Amino acid sequence: MNNNHEETLENLYNLILNPATREWERSLLLATKKAIEDGANFEDQLSKLEADLRPLALRNNLTADVTDFYNKITGNAAANTQFDFTKHSTDELAYQDSAIFAGGCFWCMVEPFETLDGIVSVLSGYTGGHIDCPTYDQVSGQYTGHVEAVEIIFDTRIIQYEDLVELYWQLTDPTDEFGQFQDRGNQYRPIIFVRNERQRQIAEKSKQCLVESGKYKHPIVTLIEPASVFWPAENYHQQFYKKNRKRYKRIERSRQQFLAFQRLQGKFRTEVKRFTKKP
């Protein structure tokens, strides 16, 4: 470990004050901070803290900000890359727009959009709830009414809102109102959040086309709701597909296998209907 003494103490102090930090995490951080301030060896104390946090870090069970700190003191630079929030804004209003989609875990909703031409920025966050500044633990505990979602800023000279809606349907299961894939709970509900009447009309028309396509055995339950405040998620969750590639690939593979099977079923149903249609 090679960590800056003053910066690390400041990080410890901020995490101790952070309301999202769990009490058992806070107790470890407090003990480490006190020991360092009392003259204990800096590197020894960080090594001890790392060892105490490691079992839960390996199971991805630390709170997001503590996870960032853990990655920092262990030298995991890729996982601790800071998201540049200054780039996530509609600076060119004449030809930039934004869209918000909820479709299960936001970890798997970023890469498909971010890698498209014309995308300026994709931000993971929380929306649709009833408190300000929600944390990941609060949303996961279903205490706030928020869903995990992504906010996408795009260049309308290159890509249109209709294109994003079309991709959204390909990434989600629109028949599952209780979550998405392996992610269960209200925070994973599929919802299209529309910013204005134009987006609403596009989303409604697209949804109706999907209903009429006959691709799905069960009803389309994806909601279309007015956009509300979008709260950015903690840094750990931003661009997760880059920071934790192996874990992301495992989750994404599971989603893709389900969607491929669902599409195959839909194709079979439409073919059967076509050949059994009465003259």
User: What pairs with residue 102 in β-bridges?
Assistant: 191
> Residues with catalytic annotation?
105
- Rounded Cα gap, residues 106 and 180, in angstroms: 11
- Rounded Cα gap, residues 136 and 258, in angstroms: 26
Q: DSSP letter for 220, please.
A: P
- Rounded Cα gap, residues 1 and 50, in angstroms: 10
* H helix and E strand count, the chain: 10, 8
- Rounded Cα gap, residues 4 and 226, in angstroms: 46
- Rounded Cα gap, residues 187 and 105, in angstroms: 9
